[in-house]
Amino acid sequence: MINEALQRLLIENLTTATLLLDSRLRLEYMNPAAEMLLAVSGQRSHGQFISELFTESQEALTALRQAVERGHPFTKREATLTSATGQALTVDYAVTPILSRQDTMLLLEVLPRDRLLRISKEEAQLSTQETTKMLVRGLAHEIKNPLGGIRGAAQLLARELPDAHLHDYTEVIIEEADRLRNLVDRMLGSNKLPSLSMTNIHEVLEHVASLLDAESQGRLVLTRDYDPSIPEVLIDREQMIQAVLNIMRNAMQALAGQVELGLGRLTLRTRTLRQFTIGHIRHRLVARIEIVDNGPGIPAELQNTLFYPMVSGRPDGTGLGLAITQNIVSQHQGLIECESHPGYTAFSIFLPLELDKGATTS
């Protein structure tokens, strides 16, 4: 027979967040996994009402009360909880009524889904990126071959033309062929491997910020929220400048009207994350770079195809900036994500702080 001390030891070492509520939905106990998930102390939270620990919806609260009254267990999938710290958590949770000393208590088992959903989303994003890259390479090959022929034919024709004024037409053909070739090359991105060196990520951000400050003539409000403890990152400095510049320039263009009025705001934020998964690799330490603007937001119909080549929300846009940025970040074993709604657009770049070290297969 397992004694009480051993039972408690087993519960405290479970990786599943476990909470015990009394009949009034006040906390009786939470294990360390629940403390970590909700970022609260079980001892300090003892006796608190469930809504003081996290909130979901009034319907969820009603369901918990009904579970106490009727003794019926239930399970909820992919629920969104908001912790006391304001963090949104996507979880599955199971509620089991337990009769104890003539009183019905509730056992809550909470399983975080954020990481699994993130992995699924990343896999889809990486798969789409590879498929798109293959399609673009095939299309580029089919375009560049005839372009070379057109350009060569125009050069030969220019030599045979008797009238020098007619050379203007062949020059147009050659220039347009070159323009299309350059466009295709930009779609393909650089084949050069990153030239990695230990770099201060804040120096990269400040370099790009100074460029945008000059372009906006100081009218763009730039806010810094840096974590100075972030160590140097192994990156290609020039490529990362290009990646960040593409995002920040897009943000400035989205803020165009607000910048003129002095209302455009761009926030640069850096943080470190522990045990963060990118693809199938769990990294011990990751740097997160956030670029946030208060512009009109990205149209919902563009958000799923945002990183595709030739997709742009501006009539004069080439749609290559974010595709190039994603390619650069991927070459650094990183990840880029976007969250957007009116008044808020945030691009997040995640970069491993230890490439090929301190990483485990998830």
Q: Which of 93, 112, 131 represents a domain boundary (last residue)? A: 112
- Of 9-18, 26-35, 173-182, give the range with the top mean pLDDT: 26-35
User: In whole angstroms, what is the distance from residue 176 CA to residue 182 CA?
Assistant: 10
CATH number at residue 246: 3.30.565.10
Is residue 95's pLDDT more than 90? yes
Is residue 68's pLDDT more than 50? yes
Give percent helix, percent strand, percent coil of the chain, each to the nearest 5.
45, 30, 25
Residue 149 shares a structural domain with residue 175: yes
What was the pLDDT predicted at 225?
94
Q: How many residues does the chain have?
A: 362
What was the pLDDT predicted at 260?
65
Give me the mean pLDDT over the 281-288 stretch: 87
User: In whole angstroms, what is the distance from residue 129 CA to residue 59 CA?
Assistant: 40
Residue 102 shares a structural domain with residue 129: no
What was the pLDDT predicted at 309?
65
**Domain membership of residue 341 as a residue range:** 197-352
Domain-embedded: residue 358: no
Is residue 317's pLDDT more than 60? no
Residue 107 shares a structural domain with residue 134: no
Residue 222 shares a structural domain with residue 184: no
Number of domains in the chain: 3
Q: What is the pLDDT of residues 112-168, one digit of tens each?
A: 887 666 666 666 666 666 676 677 677 777 787 888 888 888 888 888 888 878 888
Give me the mean pLDDT over the 289-310 stretch: 82
Residue 307 shares a structural domain with residue 344: yes
Residue 93 shares a structural domain with residue 30: yes
**10's tokens:** 């087993």
Domain-embedded: residue 67: yes
Give me the mean pLDDT over the 164-178 stretch: 86
Residue 100 shares a structural domain with residue 245: no
What was the pLDDT predicted at 75?
94
Cβ atoms of 209 and 222 closer than 8 Å: yes
Give me the mean pLDDT over the 232-246 stretch: 92
Q: What is the pLDDT of residues 301-316, one digit of tens each?
A: 787 777 776 566 555 5
pLDDT band at 105 (very low <50, low <70, confident <90, very high): very high
Residue 183 shares a structural domain with residue 211: no
- Residue whose token pair is 């369901």: 63
Domain-embedded: residue 301: yes
Domain-embedded: residue 32: yes
What global pTM score does this model have? 0.60
What was the pLDDT predicted at 167?
83
Q: Which helix (H) or strand (E) holds 225?
A: strand 221-225
Domain-embedded: residue 129: yes
Q: Which of 89-98, 144-153, 261-270, 300-309 has the lowest mean pLDDT?
A: 300-309
Residue 176 shares a structural domain with residue 142: yes
Q: Which of 55, 77, 112 represents a domain boundary (last residue)? A: 112
Q: Is 174 helix (H, G, I), strand (E, B) or coil?
A: helix
Domain-embedded: residue 361: no
Is residue 361's pLDDT more than 50? no
User: In whole angstroms, what is the distance from residue 332 CA to residue 350 CA?
Assistant: 10
3 state SS for 9-68: HHHHCCCCEEEEECCCCEEEEECHHHHHHHCCCHHHHCCCEHHHHEECCHHHHHHHHHHH
Domain-embedded: residue 121: yes
Percentage of the chain exceeding pLDDT 70: 85
pLDDT band at 357 (very low <50, low <70, confident <90, very high): very low
Domain-embedded: residue 324: yes
DSSP-derived letter for residue 358 is: S
Residue 222 shares a structural domain with residue 244: yes
Q: What is the pLDDT of residues 188-214, one digit of tens each?
A: 666 667 788 999 999 999 999 999 888
DSSP-derived letter for residue 230 is: P
For residue 228, the tally of other CB atoms under 10 A from its CB is 6
User: In whole angstroms, what is the distance from residue 78 CA to residue 312 CA?
Assistant: 32
Residue 107 shares a structural domain with residue 51: yes
DSSP assignments along 283-349, one per residue? EEEEEEEEEEE-SS---HHHHTTTTSTT--SSTT--S-HHHHHHHHHHHTT-EEEEEEETTEEEEEE
Higher local confidence (pLDDT), 61 or 116: 61
Q: Which of 86, 112, 138 represents a domain boundary (last residue)? A: 112
Is residue 18's pLDDT more than 70? yes
CATH number at residue 95: 3.30.450.20
Residue 10 shares a structural domain with residue 102: yes
What was the pLDDT predicted at 287?
94
